[in-house]
A and B are shown apart, each in its own frame.
Chain A
Amino acid sequence: MDLLLDIATWILLLAGSILLIITGFGLLRLPDLYTRIHAGGMADTLATFLIFVGLSLQSGFSLVSAKLLLVLVFVFFTSPTASYALAQASFVAGLKPKLDGFGTKKPSKDDV
């Protein structure tokens, strides 16, 4: 039973860490601020979720788990507000998102 829990924890922690690496990769690779916010969103949501659930599996049915899950709830409440503040501030400041010229599809007039 303990072994099973350990394996589940390892899988969750590793999946979370891989997502964090992809997040960091995306922050460098994507072209402008608005698209980079999306990459940061991965670290705020699923990566945090996986790591915290993995940690609470280790602490079992206890107060520590309850606290970890509460932190998770608070992160899920506050991180979209922070992302929105960032996007809204750069939009109000007049930063134009790059919308065309990506991928293999030819940009047309309908895209703008």
Chain B
Amino acid sequence: MLKTVSLFLVLMSVWLLLSGHYTPLITGFGVVSCLLSALIANRMDVNDKEGQPIYLGPRILSYWGWLVGEIFKANVDVAKCVLFPKKYLRPSIFTVTASQKSDLGKVIYANSITLTPGTVTVDLDGDQVMVHALTEGSAEDVLGGDMDRRVTKVMRET
């Protein structure tokens, strides 16, 4: 019940943010459609801990801030590699172990690896993540395990 209410509140706030029309009739339609969506999601049984990960809270926001910084650095690396391939281009493929236990944690980790240019997740099998890296520096960033530790901290699964 609490999950349905919080889903309704999230949907409603997104609706208010995106619509920009606040006449009673249109807003009424918005309320009705958000209510209907929340009830259908409840009936479909998709409104669980994974579908609505509010419990991650502010920790995921500070993780995103860190991730944006990493994306900046990685972009500069890849741009250098494109401009001077002879000097920097060292493609490699390797496997690292993800220390997260839940599926959501593994997906956040694998997606973070892919989101950072220079490293792409090629395969995720159990807790083994196969990574393709463009340069030596980007490979070392993943092998160092800093991102893995941070995602585990966000998920509180030490």
Contact = CB atoms under 8 A, between A and B. Distances in A.
Main secondary structure on A side of the interface with B: helix
B122 A91 contact: yes
B91 A97 contact: yes
B97 interface: no
B90 A38 contact: no
B86 A70 contact: no
Query: Contact size class for A?
Result: 35 or more
A63 to B, nearest CB: 5
B106 interface: no
B82 A63 contact: no
Given A19-B75, A39-B78, A42-B78, A29 B117 contact: no
Contacts, number: 120
Contacts of A59: none
Query: Contact size class for B?
Result: 35 or more
Interface string A11-50: 0000000010011011001110011011101101110010
Which of A31, A44, A84 has the most B CB atoms < 10 Å from its CB? A84
A51 B122 CA distance: 28
Contacts of A70: 14, 17-18
B121 A30 contact: no
Interface of A: 19, 22-23, 25-26, 29-31, 34-35, 37-39, 41-42, 44-46, 49, 63, 66-67, 70, 76-77, 79-81, 83-84, 87-88, 91, 97-99, 102-105, 111
Given A91-B122, A102-B91, 12 more contacts: A37-B120, A38-B118, A41-B118, A42-B79, A46-B117, A76-B115, A81-B114, A88-B122, A97-B91, A102-B90, A103-B88, A103-B90
Interface of B: 14, 17-18, 20, 68, 71-72, 75, 78-79, 81-83, 85-93, 110-112, 114-123, 130, 132, 134
